[in-house]
Structure 1
Amino acid sequence: MTDNSTAPTQQQYPQPPYAAPQSPPPHFAYPAVPASYGFGPVDGNPVGVIALFAAVTGLVFATIGGFITGGGFIFGWVMLTVGFVMGVIAVCLRGRRKWQGITAIAVSAVGTMLGFLVFFAILSASIAVS
């Protein structure tokens, strides 16, 4: 038998009242962030789609509409303006996809230039004929 009374005593240090943080088990995964928190683009941009539709419609009526009816130019320019304004609004919306709005702005700009070219070509042709 061993007598513990003769063994040198070791000084006991007090333990802290908290334990060291432990790492989570390897299979632990953080939950996904819901889409309602506003992180990342959501599905689609309806304002951008409407702006793109208005810009393409305006492009068609501003270039071809003048040959079909006299009011096609006016309708085309109105639609190009609507497409441009809605495209700017679509680009400024937070958390939405931007490509529809940017494309609507570009189509509106090109449509306005082509519309003016076609309008002045028809105007100069009508003046030369008369």
Structure 2
Amino acid sequence: MEVHKLNSNVSVLQPKQTQPPKSPNNYVKKVHRRRMAVIGIIFAVIVIVFGVQIFSAHQTYANTVEQIEISKKKLSSQKEIQSDLKLEVNQLHDTNYIEKYIREKYMYSKPGEQIYNLPSDVKTTTIQK
């Protein structure tokens, strides 16, 4: 029972209005909607987690490929340096090359030879007497 007050000090009791009984069909629909919402939320969370994992794996793969390319470039440059050094070692076994190298690098000369230094654009010229 509900109590309603009127403008006076007296309250009037009125019977409580009852709602019509819920139909079982309406209740089933409500339960199904709730279950579908929960399943949808769980599915969305799973999709997001797997999406993040795939994105992370792709980033790792891209970084690895980039590192491989950098390593290949370094390897090729080191191979070029190694081939240049092997060539220089082979040339250092030649006495004519050693003489030329010492003259250019350390400004040595043969007896009776005069050396003139020119600007760096032009090679050193020697005159023999």
TM-score normalised by the chain length of structure 2: 0.31
Q: TM-score, normalised by structure 1?
A: 0.31
Normalized per residue, the structure richer in strand is 2
Structure exhibiting the larger radius of gyration computed from Cα positions: 2
